Structures are given as C-alpha cells and as structure tokens.
Amino acid sequence: GEDVEQSLFLSVREGDSSVINCTYTDSSSTYLYWYKQEPGAGLQLLTYIFSNMDMKQDQRLTVLLNKKDKHLSLRIADTQTGDSAIYFCAESLRDTGRRALTFGSGTRLQVQP
Amino acid sequence: SQTIHQWPATLVQPVGSPLSLECTVEGTSNPNLYWYRQAAGRGLQLLFYSVGIGQISSEVPQNLSASRPQDWQFILSSKKLLLSDSGFYLCAWSGGDQETQYFGPGTRLLVL
C-alpha cells in the first residue's frame, strides 16, 4: 500500500544543517519529491529524485535515497531563518495509473536565530 | 512559462451554502489537474484529478464534485457545505506524462 511518514517537527539553529527524514512503503515509486510550504501559501517544489538515483545535490539541498530501507532524506546546509516552513515528502507511483502523488503529513522546520 | 491561479484566496461560508472554487492554468496545453485538501496541521488529501476536458476521477466519497469545462479550467463545487469541508484547498497541474506537480497558491475555506 501507499504510506509516507515523516516526523512532525524539527528545530535547528541558524547556520546549522537540517536533516528531514521520510519513509515510504511502496517499492514501485518512480519519483520522490520534496515540497516546501510557507504559512498560508501553496506548495513550492524544492527538488525531486528519480528512484534509480541515490543522491542529488542542488546548491544547499542534498537528497539521499536508500531504496533498500525505503528512506528519503533532505539535508539543508547553512540553514537560514527563511527556511522555516513545513516540508512535505511525496512519492509518485506510475503503475497505479492514478498520476497523483502521495504526501507525508509534513515536517515543520523551525530555525532559531 | 506556466502559471496556475486559484480564487478566491479566502472564503467564509455558512453551513448548507453552495461552493465554487476555480483553478486555471496558463502556458501549457492538456495538463493533468488535481484538487487536494489540507486540513489544519495535516498533510494533503487528493480529492479529484482530471486528465482532460470532462474527465474527472474522484478519490474519496464526499459532498464535493469537480468539473473541467475547459482544458485550462478546473472547478471544485458543493451544493451544501458541511463544517468538515473547512480547510485549505490546493490545485495542482502536471504536464502530460510528466509526474511532477506544480501547485497554486491555495484557497482557505472556513465553513461556519
């Protein structure tokens, strides 16, 4: 079945690295995504990784994928106060024909100055 | 470039009243369109998706409905709102066989 889980809350100090974790259950996932939601706003696509990759880096963001453990992580280097938001992990399952994403419940990142 | 719009941004409606939320997409043709609901402090629940004009798939049984009268237009409706319909409604699009979804700014609905 489809189930994506994330921890609810993470607090870090400005300048530190943040690591947000996600686990998923369906091994047929094709793409895995990270979205950012600021208060009162829609979801902003941050990055995504194809399931045959194990790492992707994009400026301050590093995504690690462990397919064996079905574990996805997002590392934000040099975390800034502007990074405070809710971060959603999502998986895409091509085989279902549904063409929709299954989202985790989101991790609220709080960056303390 | 592609843009996605939603309106209204905020809506306060009494229980039992009708609802119409609109989503439009510019800069792309034949997009897949999605309606999600986000309850307070929760993740996103897929409500409807559409792969073309007049083609709507419903994910959960409820008192909401969706329509796609134009390729670029996706409407979420209800004949009679319930208190439990309160939430943040997000529209998203993806292009053809591409799976990545891009979200609109959302509509916050409060049913009193």
Write out pLDDT tens, residues B53-73. 999 998 876 889 999 999 999
Minimal Cβ distance to A42: which of B43, B49, B104: B104
Question: Mean pLDDT across chain A, nearest whole number?
Answer: 90
Cα–Cα distance for residue pair B50/B84, rounded to 1 Å: 24
Minimal Cβ distance to B34: which of A31, A35, A100: A100
What single-letter amino acid sits at B99? E
A44 touches chain B (CB under 8 A): yes
Distance from CA of B112 to the nearest CA of A (A): 20
pLDDT for B90 equals 96
Question: How do beta strands A85-92 and A101-103 pair?
Answer: antiparallel
Q: Which among B44, B36, B39 is positioned nearest to B85, based on CA atoms?
A: B39
pLDDT for A31 equals 87
Minimal Cβ distance to A105: which of B34, B42, B99: B42
Backbone angles phi, psi at B95, to 5 degrees: -100, 115
Distance from CA of A32 to the nearest CA of B (A): 9
Q: How many CA atoms lie within 13 A of A58 on its CB side?
A: 10
Cα–Cα distance for residue pair B112/B38, rounded to 1 Å: 18
CA distance readout (Å), B9 to A42, B76, B91, B100, B110? 11, 14, 12, 24, 11
A1 — pLDDT class (breaks 50, 70, 90): very low
Chain A residue numbers with beta carbons less than 8 Å from the beta carbon of B43 are: 88, 103-106
CA A50 centroid distance within chain: 13
Minimal Cβ distance to B100: which of A42, A44, A48: A48
A101 touches chain B (CB under 8 A): yes
Distance from CA of A14 to the nearest CA of B (A): 24
Cα–Cα distance for residue pair B61/B57, rounded to 1 Å: 11
Q: What percent of chain A has pLDDT over 70?
A: 93
Interface size A-B, in CB pairs within 8 Å, comes to 50
pLDDT for B100 equals 87
Question: Mean pLDDT across chain B, nearest whole number?
Answer: 92
Span B14-61, pLDDT tens digits: 999 999 999 999 999 899 999 999 987 678 888 999 999 999 998 876
Distance from CA of B80 to the nearest CA of A (A): 25
Judge: A100–B59 Cβ closer than 8 Å, yes or no.
yes
Strands (E), chain B: 3-7, 10-13, 19-26, 31-38, 44-52, 55-58, 64-70, 73-78, 87-95, 102-103, 107-111
